[in-house]
Chains A and B, each alone.
Chain A
């Protein structure tokens, strides 16, 4: 099945003024995001930025001893590769596809040229970067102050916001890697959520049964990130102006 080309499935691209998107469109290359694909490595060259239309990319840091900690998730609300316009070119973190999907990618040289125009795309990208910063800083806060069960809820909700259904396909080991904890901890926390009817978790498939309850159970960190995102992208007109 061939999917129809539709960059507007990515919310940042959809927020661009029509003329800008028309100009960009020929350079937006549709690509698959296979599960586990490393989009860029820590300190590694980045040839493109990616605007996902589906799926989720995890930004994570891997330590010397191999333990990892996820810093942020990116889906169709955002883009991967901010260091290409922020000027660093590389970053110490790694970007990995955590949930299979598709994206439009734009060549590194191209994004720099577009950014330098100083128009709507620049404003959009900077504003998105600020939303991403809030997600990252809230992860820092959450990692220090909140219980694993709440962190799991936060992670589930942020992922769900970037997926079309209420189902995630993810092993407990993978979630444990993302949260930077032992698998046993995830099993226990997920078990409690399941026992309380919030999710069902069977053979690597998590189904969120009661989203409202999940939002009650999660710590304040989810709300902070969500409200900032909503605020920063409240009106497309405000950004394109």
Chain B
């Protein structure tokens, strides 16, 4: 499936979290789920900014990042078809210091925050699923902290690529950035190919051999916490 599927092909069940909901829970949300295009660079929510919607990507990647005072960005975590963007809406904070930006263009669904919160507050399976998802997300974030401290830049890039691929329906990312030195190295070694904003993974096995343990830790936790979802295996 192409990374930029048309709106006709967009389906809520292409988001694994939505697909894991019980019939009743999904029925409650369905009337309020709006299919949306998530273009590259779109700011889903700003640091400290009001968040009116939660987003469920189906064929896109949203990055959670922190913008430093000097303007550079530090990526914290990625979310794609395995999850949702906007946990502070049910965790109670309502805003967060981080920013959410679309890093790989595609599609998704959005849902008004108060609709999700109402379902969340009724307790039950949906609440438990969202909390387990949040715990998995926390593991991804903490592993980023560890990785940033101990591992080389090219291993960090491998981790981002693999985590993103696990959260997309295809084997391609649609990203704008210029080719960094680390990415150039991976390309020179035949692991990936950059072409007009598209990154295609050529040798997944090699990426998995190159990456540090951090990728495995995160993947294991998501698989353990969300067995009904299961990230895509190659």
Q: Which residues of A contact B (CB under 8 A)?
A: 59, 61, 63-64, 67, 69, 71, 82-83, 85-88, 91-93, 116, 118, 123, 126-127, 129-131, 133-134, 136-141, 143-145, 179-181, 220, 224, 227-228, 231-232
Contact = CB atoms under 8 A, between A and B. Distances in A.
B111 interface: no
A143 B148 contact: yes
19 contacts: A59-B142, A61-B143, A71-B146, A82-B135, A86-B131, A87-B131, A88-B224, A91-B135, A92-B143, A92-B217, A92-B220, A116-B123, A127-B92, A130-B92, A137-B98, A138-B66, A145-B74, A220-B69, A224-B66
A141 B66 contact: yes
Given A88-B135, A180-B149, A130 B76 contact: no
Contacts of A61: 142-143, 145-146
Residue among A88, A118, A141 with the most chain B CB within 10 A? Answer: A141
B150 interface: yes
Query: Which secondary structure dominates chain A's binding surface?
Result: helix
A69 B146 contact: yes
Given A87-B131, A141-B68, A143-B145, A92 B92 contact: no
A140 B93 contact: no
B139 interface: yes
Nearest to B153: A144
Interface in B182-234: 213, 217, 220-221, 224-225
A232 B93 contact: yes
A133 B138 contact: yes
Contacts of A118: 121, 123
B88 A130 contact: yes
Contact of B135 (A67, A87, A138, A140): A87
B96 A130 contact: yes
B141 A83 contact: no
B25 interface: no
B6 interface: no
Nearest to A118: B123
A134 B21 CA distance: 28
Contact of B141 (A85, A136, A145, A227): A136
Given A64-B213, A87-B132, A130-B96, A92 B139 contact: yes
Select the residue from B131, B135, B138, B141 with max chain A CB neighbours within 10 A.
B138
A191 B138 CA distance: 34
B103 interface: no
Interface of B: 64, 66, 68-69, 72, 74, 76-77, 87-88, 90-93, 96-98, 121, 123, 128, 131-132, 134-136, 138-139, 141-146, 148-150, 213, 217, 220-221, 224-225
Contacts of A85: 131
A137 B149 contact: no
Contact of A137 (B93, B123, B134, B141): B141
B128 to A, nearest CB: 6
Nearest to B122: A118
B68 A145 contact: yes
A134 B121 contact: no
A87 B91 contact: no
Nearest to A68: B146
Contacts of B221: 88, 92
Contacts of A87: 128, 131-132, 135, 225
A9 to B, nearest CB: 24
Contact of B134 (A86, A116, A127): A86
A86 B142 contact: no
Contacts of A224: 66, 97
A137 B24 CA distance: 35
Given A63-B213, A118-B123, A136-B145, A220 B150 contact: no
A145 B75 CA distance: 11
B145 A140 contact: yes
Given A86-B135, A136-B142, 11 more contacts: A126-B91, A130-B88, A131-B93, A133-B91, A137-B64, A137-B66, A137-B98, A140-B141, A141-B66, A141-B68, A143-B149
Which 8 A/B pairs are nearest by Cβ-Cβ distance?
A: A140-B145, A144-B148, A143-B148, A141-B74, A86-B135, A130-B93, A180-B149, A143-B149
Contacts of A69: 145-146, 149-150
